[in-house]
Amino acid sequence: DASDNVPGVPGIGEKTAISLIQEYGTLESIYEHVSEIKGKKRQETLRENRDKAFLSRELVTLATDVAIDLSDGFTKMRPADVEGLRTFFAEMEFRQFAAELPQKTKTQNSSNEVRYETVSTIPRLIEILDQIRQKGFCAVDTETTSLDTLGARIVGLSLTVEENQGWYIPIGHRDGNNIPRQEAFPLLRDVLESASIGKTGHNLKYDFHILANEGIALKGICDDTLIASYLTQPIRESRKLDDLVGKELGMSMTPITDLIGTGPNQKCMADVDIERVSSYACEDTDAAWRLRKILNPKITELDMEYLYRQIEMPLLTVLATMERKGIGVDLHILERQSCELAKEMESLEQGIYQSVGREFNLNSPSQMAQILYDDLQILRGRKRSTRADILEKLAEEGVPIARQILDFRHRQKIKSTYLDALQKLIRPETGRVHTTYHQAVVNTGRISSSDPNLQNIPIRTDLGRRVRSAFIASDGYVLVSLDYSQIELRILAHISNDPGLQKAFSSGEDIHSRTAAEIFGTALSDVTPDMRRKAKEINFGLNYGMSPYGLAQRLSISDAEATSYIKTYFARYPLVHTYMDETVAFAQENLYVNTVLQRRIPTPGVRDANRLRQENARRAAINARIQGSAADLMKKALVDVFEELRAKPEQASILLTVHDELVLEVREDRVDEICDCCRKRMEEALPFSVPTPVEIAIGHSWAELK
* Residue 421: C-alpha distances to residues 20, 324, 331, 413, 582 (Å): 59, 19, 11, 11, 46
The CA distance from 445 to 312, in Å, is 10
**DSSP for residue 234:** S
Kindly state the average pLDDT of the residues 346-351.
94
Which CB contacts under 8 angstroms, 24+ apart, belong to 260-269?
268/145, 268/146, 268/155, 269/143, 269/144, 269/145, 269/155, 269/156
Q: Is the pLDDT of residue 108 over 60?
A: no
What are residue 33's phi and psi, to 5 degrees?
-115, 25
The CA distance from 534 to 520, in Å, is 10
At 83, the pLDDT band (50, 70, 90 cuts) reads: confident
Q: How many CA atoms lie within 13 A of 322 on its CB side?
A: 29
Tens of pLDDT, residue by residue over 555-589, are 888 888 888 888 888 888 899 999 999 999 999 99
Q: How many CA atoms lie within 13 A of 556 on its CB side?
A: 4
Q: Is the pLDDT of residue 207 over 60?
A: yes
Which among 114, 80, 77, 76 is positioned nearest to 100, based on CA atoms?
Answer: 80
Q: Which helix (H) or strand (E) holds 433?
A: strand 432-433
Provide the 3-class DSSP secondary structure of residue 160.
Answer: strand
Lowest-confidence region among 13-22, 100-109, 159-168: 100-109
Report the pLDDT value the prediction gives residue 10, as an integer from 0 to 100: 86
Q: Is the pLDDT of residue 110 over 60?
A: no
Kindly state the average pLDDT of the residues 499-505.
91
- Cβ(623)–Cβ(654) below 8 Å: no
Sign of CA dihedral 504, 507, 509, 514: negative
Which among 657, 658, 697, 702 is positioned nearest to 679, based on CA atoms?
Answer: 697
Tens of pLDDT, residue by residue over 138-190, are 999 999 999 999 999 999 999 999 999 999 999 999 999 999 999 999 999 99
Q: Is the pLDDT of residue 229 over 60?
A: yes
At 104, the pLDDT band (50, 70, 90 cuts) reads: low
Q: Is the pLDDT of residue 299 over 50?
A: yes
Report the pLDDT value the prediction gives residue 551, as an integer from 0 to 100: 84
Tens of pLDDT, residue by residue over 317-329, are 999 999 999 999 9
Report the pLDDT value the prediction gives residue 112, as an integer from 0 to 100: 61
